Amino acid sequence: MGGGRAVKFRLWRKPEGRAGEWYYCIRHGTVEEGPDCPARDRLGPYATRREAANALETAKTRNQVWENDPNWNDRGRR
Report yes or no: 17 and 36 within 8 Å, Cβ to Cβ: no
> What pTM did the predictor assign?
0.67
Pick the more confident residue, 44 or 77: 44
* % of residues, the chain, pLDDT over 90: 51
Tell whether the model's pLDDT for residue 18 goes beyond 50: yes
pLDDT computed for residue 11 by the predictor:
58
Q: Counting beta carbons within 10 angstroms of the beta carbon of residue 24, is it exposed (0 to 12), middle (13 to 18) or buried (19 or more)? A: buried
pLDDT band at 44 (very low <50, low <70, confident <90, very high): very high
| C-alpha to C-alpha distance for 69 and 23, rounded to whole angstroms | 27
Give the tens place of pLDDT for each residue, 1-13.
556 677 665 555 5
